[in-house]
Amino acid sequence: METCKGYSFVKGIQGDLIIQPCSIENLKDTKQDTTTSTKIARQDVAAIAVQCLLSLSWTKSRIISVESNGILQQEDDKVPKKIMRFDREWCVKSNLLRDKLSFIE
């Protein structure tokens, strides 16, 4: 993990994250080399935790694997910013996390 110094609510989710279900057996067998893998911003990890609480059923226990494909690039990032309505989502681009978590249900 790393702290993204330029993080702000306006920018929202920074990383192109890969979120997958994972079993305890797979977790023990997987030993990743953290020196070569792309780091994930602490703020994005916090956003995943919050979105899990909002999206997933509290009656099930789950283990998820989170990796990064680098910095999130979206088409709307290239367009000049319009006036954004922050009252409609708790974190900018959080809908991307919600969509990725929907496959875990």
**How does pLDDT run across 8-38, given as a tens digit for each residue?**
777 888 899 999 998 877 766 655 655 556 7
The pTM of this model reads 0.73
pLDDT tens, position by position, 68-98: 998 888 665 555 555 556 567 788 888 899 9
Q: Where are the domains of the chain?
A: 15-102
* Residue where the block lists tokens 């681009």: 93
- Answer for the pair 19, 66: CB distance below 8 angstroms, yes or no: yes
